[in-house]
Amino acid sequence: MKAEKDERARAMAEMTKSGYVYVISNVGSFGEDLVKIGLTRHLDPNDRVRELGDASVPFGFDTHAMIYSEGAPALEAALHKEFAEQRVNMANMRKEFFRVSLDEVEDAMARLAPDAEFFKDREAQEWHETMARRKEKLMKVNNSETDELPAEI
């Protein structure tokens, strides 16, 4: 019974063209200039971003755009077409990662969804914190090695 309801809800969601197109990145997991451009019909679209960053990657995603659109599939398809040559996985079109800079995505968004807000900042809080801790640890190791060296030979 519940499975039928879930399937019916999913089918109804697929029939509607409204949804959110998102642009996210994860510098800690994938490095610079790699973004995911996807679509969600979640009531809270940030739930989808959290799902993607929960267990499968070491750091959470940063959201650069979350655009509500009555024609979300068309907008998503236009963005995918714009960056087709930069698609990371060309064998599986369901993998929506592209090797492009945030500047390139922002330019495309300005043309395809001119009213959309775009945020280039990467918070990457956990990644920056991890890098700071590693640097601190490395400095402690280097300082302790220096302390062990004789002052004169």
Residue range(s) defining the domain that contains residue 10: 2-123
d(C-alpha 150, C-alpha 91), whole Å: 59
Exposure class string for 9-44: b at 16+ Cβ within 10 A, else e: eeeeeeeeeebbbbbbbbbbbbeebbbbbbbbbeee
Q: How far apart are CA 26 and CA 62, in angstroms?
A: 6
Residue 141 pLDDT: 79
Question: CB neighbours of 57 closer than 8 A, spacing ≥ 6?
Answer: 26, 29
Torsion of CA 37, 43, 44, 50, to 10 degrees: -60
134, part of any domain: no
Output the pLDDT for position 9.
61
Does the residue 132 lie in any domain?
no
pLDDT tens for 24-77 read 999 999 999 999 999 999 999 999 999 988 878 999 999 999 999 999 999 999
Q: What is the mean pLDDT of residues 13-27?
A: 88
How many structural domains does the chain have? Answer: 1
Q: How does DSSP classify residue 60?
A: P
Residue 84 pLDDT more than 70?
Answer: yes
Note whether residue 128 is domain-resident: no
User: Residue 104's closest CA among 151, 152, 37?
Assistant: 37
The predicted pLDDT at position 121 comes to 84
Q: What is the pLDDT of residues 106-129, one digit of tens each?
A: 999 999 999 999 998 878 888 889
Would you say residue 64 lies in a domain? Answer: yes
Asked whether the predicted pLDDT for residue 146 surpasses 60, the reply is: no
- What pLDDT, on the 0 to 100 scale, is given for residue 110? 95
pLDDT of residue 140: 80
* Distance, CA of 138 to CA of 152 (rounded, Å): 25
Whether 141 is covered by a domain: the verdict is no
